[in-house]
Amino acid sequence: MLRLARVLKIPIETRAIKRSWLIDEIVIEFERREPEKIPTPKLHSPAIQIEHLEKRFGSKVAVRDFELKVNPGEIVGLVGPNGAGKTTTLRVLTGIIKPTKGTVKVNGFDMFKETLRAKHSIGYIPEKPTCYPSLTAREYVMFMARIYDLPTEIALVRMRYFVDVFQLDEFLDSYIGTLSKGNLQRVLLVGIFVRNPPYVLALDEPIYGLDPRGAWNLKALLKRLRDEGSAILISTHILEVASELCNRFVIMNEGEAVGRGTLDTLLSNHKNARNLEEVFLGLTGGIPQ
């Protein structure tokens, strides 16, 4: 950090320098210089490809013969009742658990043959966020930047930007183990966004747990990232959010895809339904009378 400050010719007059002050100075200096933009790599199309996926837990079939593609520039909503198999699908997609059958590819890389490259390409927010409790939020984000080979100066500028977006300033030097669920979720999001866009994202219930402002900021950010070419798969129970955010939907029930398409396609295939909620209820046990 000190070396970087010297290279940038930031005047260091006092012997007792606070690390957070130095970081702020470096960020301000980089913003002033408008560092050259890193060329944004193009994503493979489809960026997410799941084929013939089956996942069994003993005799329980959690997911069966499941297909899904997400292209760059799309947000796809994975919706379905509790126990439908959404989290299981995302855990296979991100290489956390192995499929019983089928393949998953991320940015063209097979998750179980080219694991490192595939994992390197995807950002994941789990349903139950967990993280290293004895790192501070700042240490975690910089650790992620190092894993993803990001130059420190770029990481610092991005961290500052996303810390502002998610209003994390006062928690930057808090231990992760002390954060509330929503703030932990925000830190994990900053840990993803510190990397180079465009992103391939698998987000399991990312809105749930955020307060209204956090949710609004995340939705706005996801739309912008989508428009800039990221590929986003999002599981959610909040159908209002799904309708507003997603280009297409896959409705899961008991491990299978029971409906898919844009909202218009789904509505024209289900004449009795007036909105996504009614399509969903119709396909997953019927609309309650």
Ligand X SMILES: Nc1ncnc2c1ncn2[C@@H]1O[C@H](COP(=O)(O)OP(=O)(O)OP(=O)(O)O)[C@@H](O)[C@H]1O
What does the binding site for ligand X look like in residue numbers (CB under 6 A)?
A: 57, 60, 62, 80, 82-88, 127
62 touches, from ligand X, Mg ion, none (C-beta below 5 to 8 Å by class): ligand X
Select from Mg ion, ligand X, none the partner in contact with residue 92, using the beta carbon and a kind-dependent cut-off of 5 to 8 Å. none
DSSP bridge pairs for 235:
78, 204
84 binds, among ligand X, Mg ion, none (CB under 5 to 8 A by kind): ligand X
72 vs 80, beta carbon nearer ligand X: 80
Helix 152-165 / helix 19-33 crossing angle, nearest 10 deg: 100
Q: Which residues bind Mg ion (CB under 5 A)?
A: 86-87, 127
Q: Using CB positions, name the residue nearest to Mg ion.
A: 87
Cα(137)–Cα(177) distance, integer angstroms: 10
Contacts of residues 251-254 at CB distance under 8 Å and 24 or more positions apart, as own/partner, are 251/79, 251/80, 251/279, 251/280, 251/283, 251/284, 252/66, 252/78, 252/79, 252/80, 252/84, 252/85, 252/86, 252/89, 253/80, 253/81, 253/84, 253/283, 253/284, 253/285, 254/83, 254/84, 254/85
Tell me if 150 sits within 8 A of 194, measured CB to CB: yes
Q: 163 — alpha (psi -120 to 50), left (phi > 0) or beta?
A: alpha
Question: Minimum distance between the CB of residue 252 and Mg ion, rounded to whole angstroms?
Answer: 10
Cα four-point dihedral sign 101, 105, 106, 112? positive
As measured in angstroms, the least distance from the Cβ of 80 to ligand X is 5
* In the complex, minimum distance from the CB of residue 220 to ligand X, in angstroms, rounded to a whole number: 25
Q: Which of 45, 8, 38 is nearest to 24 (CA)?
A: 8
Task: Please choose which of ligand X, Mg ion, none residue 82 contacts, taking the beta carbon within 5 to 8 angstroms, the exact cut-off set by kind.
Answer: ligand X
60 binds, among ligand X, Mg ion, none (CB under 5 to 8 A by kind): ligand X
252 forms bridges with which residues in the sheet? 257
Smallest separation, CB 43 to Mg ion (Å): 25
Indicate the residue among 125 and 190 with the shorter CB distance to Mg ion: 125
CB of 57 to ligand X, least distance (A): 3
By beta-carbon proximity to ligand X, the closer residue of 157 and 283 is 283
Among residues 254 and 278, whose Cβ is nearest to ligand X?
254
> Cβ 27 to ligand X, closest distance in Å?
38
Which CB atom, from 51 or from 256, has the smaller least distance to ligand X?
256
Q: For Mg ion, which is the closer residue by CB, 121 or 236?
A: 236
Strands across the sheet containing 60-70: 60-70, 48-57, 101-106, 109-110
Q: Quick one: 84 or 234, whose CB is closer to ligand X?
A: 84
| Minimum CB distance to ligand X, residue 56 (Å) | 9
The bridge status of strand 248-253 relative to strand 256-261 is antiparallel
